[in-house]
Structure 1
Amino acid sequence: MQQTTNTILMVRPINFRMNEQTAVNNYYQKVIDNLLPETVNVKAQQEFDAYVEKLRAIGVNVVVVNDTDDTDTPDSIFPNNWISFHENGNVGIYPMFAENRRLERREDILDNLEEKGFLINDIVDYTSAEEEKVFLEGTGSVILDRVNRKAYCALSPRADEDLFIEFCEDFEYTPVVFTSNQTVNGERKAIYHTNVMMCLGETFAVICLSSIDDKKERKNVIANLKETNKEVIDITEAQVNNFAGNMLQVKGANDEGYLIMSQAAYDSLTASQIERLEKHTKILSSSLNTIEACGGGSARCMMAEVFLPKA
């Protein structure tokens, strides 16, 4: 089992904009004043292309698929919410909170990977849960410790506990459940995706512990991370607001580990946090300002890790 992969699936946007359907519980989205929608889309495409170029330059195998024009999918740039890939050849397909995000699920993306020599054995499809208004948004909602078979999930309107437990049974993970909050206009509200406040690397974890208000839950999360010998690097809520939790460790050339994050995330880190991270891995950052502001997601959300075996 491996925690990190060299192959990443990314979807290049065609109609990127702020998605009004996700804004109801994604408090990181903002309207950029004085920018036409076409300008927002062009800026997002430029950020996307520069990001892919940086990943390829360090030896990451990036499979880029273009979004389609026949559906209104403003968030297609975040594929990790509807699909996950596993070393045994299994694929998870997930139920999405926003109706227009359900249109992002595309069979041709699986065909594309199979054409590239990846093996798909079984598809585990949870999307019928949408009929019950039950959601679990892929590796946005679920953080996988693939080596130690633990799965972490912050419950929210987009992460249902029962469905998460079902996922853990199907994919053979031990569930670690908690609630993670942020302050919105003076109120504590659930953080919409676990991967905004937590990132798991091979030998470290970046996490906003202060967002876990329940002390027992916080202790349990820390105990699970320490039990698996992860160095816990705590970040603040202000850093979460700059997407410092939304990072992903990947493999570059020669299996070299890189922690990928946005420029805003990197700029929000303290010198000592960077120093602690660099003991574990190299760091790569890329500017994603437009994508972060309008999409409310960042570097990690844009990458669906491909762990499928090769034929």
Structure 2
Amino acid sequence: MISWNPENDLDIKFFGGANKIVITPMKQNTNTVLMVRPASFRKNEQTAVNNYFQEDLALENEAINAQAQEEFDGFVAKLKAAGINVLVLQDEKELDTPDSIFPNNWVSTHANGDVAVYPMYAENRRRERREEFFTLLEDSGFAIKNVIDYTEAEEEELFLEGTGSIILDRENEKAYCALSARADEMLFIEFCEDFGYLPVIFHANQTVDGKRLPIYHTNVMMCVAQDFAVICLQSIDDKKERKQVINQLKESGKKIIAITEAQMHQFAGNMLEVVNASGQKYLVMSAQAYNSLDETQIASIEKYSEILSSDLKTIETCGGGSARCMMAEIFLPRS
């Protein structure tokens, strides 16, 4: 659990509570992200049981972490060069949190000053929830008004891993979720009721050793930007569910850019659209994801957003996550 500072005077609402949160309309994109520089990055044995994107590297853990730090620093430099405001929190080696580089799984922020804190599947990922995250935001001039804490759900073995599990269409107040061991249906509905989103629920699968198994996070197969969505429709095996997702995206005016399951495995679904201070939109992805796209897909994206890519191969291989997972979007108001 997070040790909340009572001096912050935050109104904390717990999972299952009667209070519901009313939020003001939000823009889809932010110009500020918070990222966590790793201190003990490696393949997390506790998440590998259902994250089939993770692979082994023939390196010692210290070498893996050093490579991940180099990729992280290069990625941050590219974002800053594009005019994106990047806040960096340094992880602490003593915490032994191999996946701290993916902060969007445990926290999300919202334009009315609300912050949601989520229950995590792996026990060692729960140590990622750090008060320093909130201190950095407040020191950077952001106002946190309420913390909505869902972490008690861990006692019931119910999980919902932030914007890894939930894809938010903030402007149209829709939330997309592919159910898995890390995305409980009732907890997702609870979140949608609290934050005023229409839940769009489906199942997404990938082929593992000849079997169709659930994809661990929605954000590896789907990205919703302001004007378009990049999505692996092939992963939604149920035709009715696939049609439902397509209809919801079209109803919201999104151009659908379909990717294949092979491209998804190269993290072509793990993207995030951000905007700089000048209003330029960037679709952020890894170099591997970019290289997997064909000319038609790239042209479709570039009608709406400039592409920004960075080499994240070590992080992708061992962590089973990519560019989107590394960025916790900050939508909080200024204090």
Q: TM-score, normalised by structure 1?
A: 0.99
Aligned counterpart, 1:108:
132
Deviation at 1:255, TM superposition (A): 1.4
Please name the residue that 1:25 is paired with.
50
Describe the superposition over 1:184-219 as per-residue Cα deviations: whole angstroms up to 9, x where unpaired.
Answer: 000000000000000000000000001000100000
* Residues in 2 aligned to 1:114 and 1:192: alpha-carbon distance in whole angstroms: 32
Structure 1: gaps (5+ residues): none
Q: Which ranges in structure 2 are unaligned for 5 or more consecutive residues?
A: 1-25
> Alignment partner of 1:152: what SS?
strand
Task: Please give the secondary structure, in 1, of the residue aligned with 2:94.
Answer: coil
Provide, for residues 49-76 of structure 1, a one-character-per-residue CA deviation record: whole Å limited to 9, x for no partner.
0000000000000000000122110000
Equivalent residue number for residue 4 of structure 1: 29
SS in 1 for 2:73: helix
The letter of the residue matching 2:140 is K
> What is the alpha-carbon distance in structure 2 between the residues aligned to residue 224 and residue 96 of structure 1?
28
Per the TM alignment, residue 107 of structure 1 is displaced from its structure 2 partner at its CA by: 1.2
Report if aligned partners of 1:58, 1:253 keep a CA contact under 8 Å in 2: no
Trace 1:1-311 onto structure 2 (pairs within 5 A): 1-33=26-58, 35-311=59-335
- Once the two structures are superposed, residues 212-231 of structure 1 have per-residue CA deviations (whole angstroms, 9 ceiling, x without a partner) of 00100000000000000000
Letter in 1 for 2:256: V
Partners of 1:164 and 1:255 in 2: CA distance: 32
8 Å Cα contact 1:95/1:136 also seen in 2: yes
What amino acid does structure 2 have at the position aligned with 1:17?
A: R
* 1:155-181 C-alpha deviation (Å, 9 max, x unpaired): 000000000000000011000000000
Given residue 11 of structure 1, which amino acid in structure 2 is its aligned partner?
Answer: V
- Any conservation in 2 of the 1:156–1:192 contact (CA below 8 Å)? yes
SS in 2 for 1:254: coil
Distance 1:281 1:55 in 2: 14
Q: Counterpart amino acid of 1:155?
A: L
Aligned-partner Cα distance in 2 for 1:243–1:112 = 29
Query: Percent identity of the aligned residues?
Result: 65
Structure 1: how far apart are the matches of 2:115 and 2:179?
A: 22
* Structure 1 counterpart SS, 2:142: coil
Amino acid at match of 1:82: W
- Distance between the aligned counterparts of 1:39 and 1:56, measured in 2? 26
- The alpha carbon displacement at 1:252 in A equals 1.8
Structure 1 runs of 4+ with >2 Å offset:
none
What is the letter of the counterpart of residue 24 of structure 1?
A: V
**1:37 CA displacement:** 1.1
Distance 2:154 2:57 in 1: 31
| Residue-pair matches, total | 310
Taking the aligned partners of 1:257 and 1:19, their CA distance within structure 2 comes to 33
TM-score, normalisation: structure 2? 0.92
Distance in 2 (alpha carbons) for counterparts of 1:286 and 1:3: 23
Aligned to 2:14: none
Pairwise CA distance, 1:10: 0.0
How big is the shift at 1:253?
Answer: 3.6
